[in-house]
Amino acid sequence: MRSGVWDDWGEAVLKDRVSFSLPFPVIALLIALLTGCVLAAFGTFAIAVVVGIMIMAVVIILRQDELAVTLVIAVHVYVDWYLGLHLFGPLMALILLVICFLGRSPQFPWVEPPGKWLWALFLVLTIYPAIRGGLQLYDLASYYPSDVLGALLMFWLGIVIPRNNASVRKFFILFAGFGTLLAIHTIIQATTGTTLLGTTHYDSLLLLTSNFQLDGLDAHRAGSFFIDPNWNGTFFAMMFFLPLGLFIESSSLLGKAVFLAEMALILPALLFSYSNGAWIGVISGVIVFVVFVGHARHRILLLLFLLLTIGGMLAVFPAQIANQFYHASRPLEVSLRVAVWQTAIRVMLAYPLLGVGLGYENYLIRSDPFRVPAQIAPLAHPHNSYLEWGAMAGIPVLCIFLALLILALWLAIRNWTMSDQRIRPLLGGGIASIITLSINSWSINGWTLPALSMVGWLILGVIASPLLRKSRNNESMQEKNNHQSNL
Alpha helix ranges (H) inside 43-77? 44-61, 65-75
Measure the N-to-C terminal CA separation of the chain; round to a whole number of Å: 29
pTM check: above 0.85: yes
For 443, which DSSP code? T
How far apart CA 418 and CA 463 sit, in angstroms, is 12
Q: Which residues pair with 241 in a beta bridge?
A: none
Cβ-count burial 457-477 (b if 16+ within 10 Å, e if not): bbbbbbbbbbbbeebbeeeee
Using 50 as the pLDDT threshold, list the residues of the chain that sit under it: 1-24, 27, 210, 483
How far apart CA 162 and CA 165 sit, in angstroms, is 7
| Secondary structure element (H or E) that encloses residue 476, with its range | helix 466-486
How far apart CA 214 and CA 12 sit, in angstroms, is 64
Beta-sheet strands, E only, within 229-315: none
> What's the angle, vertex CA 276, arms to CA 274 and CA 280, rounded to 5?
130
Query: For residue 208, what pLDDT is reported?
Result: 54
| Residue 92 near residue 72, CB atoms below 8 Å | yes
Query: For residue 21, what pLDDT is reported?
Result: 38
Residue 42's CB is within 10 A of a number of other CB atoms, namely 12
Nearest to 147 by CA among 465, 456, 462, 464: 456
* pLDDT per residue as tens digits for the range 92-136: 999 999 999 998 888 899 999 999 999 999 999 999 999 999 888
137 Cβ contact list (under 8 Å, min separation 6): none
Query: For residue 119, what pLDDT is reported?
Result: 97
Residue 205's CB is within 10 A of a number of other CB atoms, namely 13
32 Cβ contact list (under 8 Å, min separation 6): none
Query: For residue 73, what pLDDT is reported?
Result: 96
How far apart CA 352 and CA 356 sit, in angstroms, is 9
For 269, which DSSP code? H
Which one-letter amino acid corresponds to residue 133? Answer: G
SS3 220: strand
List Cα–Cα distances, 95 to 83, 98, 99, 175, in angstroms. 21, 5, 6, 20
SS3 35: helix
> 84 burial class (0-12, 13-18, 19+ CB within 10 angstroms)?
middle
Residue 402's CB is within 10 A of a number of other CB atoms, namely 14
For 449, which DSSP code? S
Query: For residue 25, what pLDDT is reported?
Result: 55
